[in-house]
């Protein structure tokens, strides 16, 4: 027996005073409604309704049970409505994980704008360059740069992430400018990673992919650190334009080997497959696409890009 369905049948019988009318309201047969009420009575060990040829009326126990059923069914309806609204309206807590540099430079500001629009939304933003398991760490959305490797997650493209080689005008004046990818071995380079040894950069030359050795004088697993070093003339860095776009526009950094750029990457939003995607997740991802998808603000310096 479906206890909630039986309670609902009892409520409809008491409210209408008729099995036939209750059955009509529920879209059931009269015998199905009668059976549901009888099973309730058997389960409770008490008679709930007095039946006459003209009308059905609740017993004292039936009236008390009817009133409790009204309260229970109302709570169930309200709970279902609240859950439904979570999928229709962006509210509740949204847990987002993102890379440190992108989160600091662009994502934080975008989230603030989103929360102005949706005041019932709460956001927990965690920034880390460590690759996490979103399901294990409870992230609703994980923003990642590059090709997604976890096939169990849905990846939606947010924006392009162009990768460029840059150096400060002071560095170029002092050390000269490389003319080919092979010239990089003679230059001081700033590399992304945890070591300065055995570093290679993957670029293009004459339309072909080439791998070149570099002389790394500094390495870091944080792009902002490498950007600061590049601006101060320490060496040539290979970084996404969302980190160095403003410096290029302001003249603090200059493109190096612009015709030999590394392959572009893509910024993705990763989330667990779910037939009923929560509104907070859907709205957040749509908002990021609107903000960054067509012409990312970090590429405003390049009018031809």
Domain ranges of the chain: 3-88, 92-160+265-296, 163-260
What's 198-215 look like in SS3?
Answer: CCEEEEEECCEEEEEECE
Is residue 108 predicted with pLDDT exceeding 90? Answer: yes
User: Could you give the C-alpha distances from 181 to 192, 214, 268, in angstroms and in order?
Assistant: 18, 10, 29
DSSP string, 112-162: HHHHHH-TTEEEEEEE-SS---HHHHT-SEEEEES----TTSEEEEEEEE-
User: Could you give the C-alpha distances from 241 to 5, 125, 174, 229, 301, in angstroms and in order?
Assistant: 59, 22, 24, 16, 10
Q: How confident is the model at residue 190 (pLDDT cuts 50, 70, 90)?
A: very high
pLDDT digits (tens, 9 = 90+) for 46-90: 999 988 767 888 999 988 998 888 888 888 877 776 666 555 677
**163-260 matches 92-160+265-296 in CATH topology:** yes
Q: Which two tokens stand for residue 223?
A: 């792009």
Is residue 238 predicted with pLDDT exceeding 90? Answer: yes
| pLDDT score recorded for residue 304 | 59
Q: Is 285 helix (H, G, I), strand (E, B) or coil?
A: helix
Is residue 134 predicted with pLDDT exceeding 80? Answer: no
Interatomic CA distance for residues 202 and 42, integer angstroms: 76
CATH code of the domain occupying 3-88: 1.10.10.10
CATH code of the domain occupying 92-160+265-296: 3.40.190.10
| pLDDT score recorded for residue 193 | 77
| pLDDT score recorded for residue 92 | 85
Fold adopted by 163-260: D-Maltodextrin-Binding Protein; domain 2 (3.40.190)
Residue 58 φ then ψ, to 5°: -75, 145
**Mean confidence (pLDDT) of the chain:** 87
Tokens 């612009």: give the residue: 258
| pLDDT score recorded for residue 205 | 79
């Amino acid at each position: 027996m479906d206890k909630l369905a039986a309670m609902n049948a009892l409520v409809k019988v008491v409210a209408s005073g008729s099995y036939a009318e209750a059955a009509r309201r529920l879209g059931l047969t009269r015998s199905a409604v009668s059976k549901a009420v009888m099973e309730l009575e058997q389960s409770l060990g008490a008679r709930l309704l007095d039946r006459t040829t003209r009308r059905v009326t609740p017993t004292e126990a039936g009236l008390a049970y009817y009133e409790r059923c009204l309260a229970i069914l109302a709570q169930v309806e309200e709970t279902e409505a609240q859950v439904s609204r979570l999928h229709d309206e962006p509210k509740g807590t949204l847990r987002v994980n993102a890379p440190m540099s992108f989160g600091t430079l662009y994502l934080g500001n975008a989230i603030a704008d989103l929360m102005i629009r949706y005041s019932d939304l709460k956001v927990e933003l965690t920034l880390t360059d460590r690759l996490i398991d979103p399901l294990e760490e409870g992230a609703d959305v994980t923003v990642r740069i590059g090709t997604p490797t976890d096939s169990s997650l849905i990846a939606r493209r947010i924006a392009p992430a162009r990768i460029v080689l840059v150096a400060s005008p002071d560095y170029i004046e002092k050390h000269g400018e490389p003319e080919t990818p092979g010239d990089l071995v003679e230059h001081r380079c700033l590399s992304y990673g945890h070591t300065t040894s055995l570093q290679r950069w993957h670029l293009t030359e004459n339309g072909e992919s080439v791998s070149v050795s570099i002389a790394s004088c500094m390495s870091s697993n944080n792009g902002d650190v490498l950007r600061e070093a590049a601006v101060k003339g320490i060496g040539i860095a290979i970084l996404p334009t969302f980190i160095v776009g403003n410096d290029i526009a302001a003249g603090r950094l200059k493109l190096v080997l612009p015709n030999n750029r590394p392959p572009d990457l893509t910024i993705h939003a990763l989330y667990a497959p779910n037939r009923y995607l929560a509104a907070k997740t859907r709205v957040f991802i749509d908002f990021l696409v609107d903000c960054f998808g067509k012409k990312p603000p970090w590429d405003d310096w390049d009018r031809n890009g």
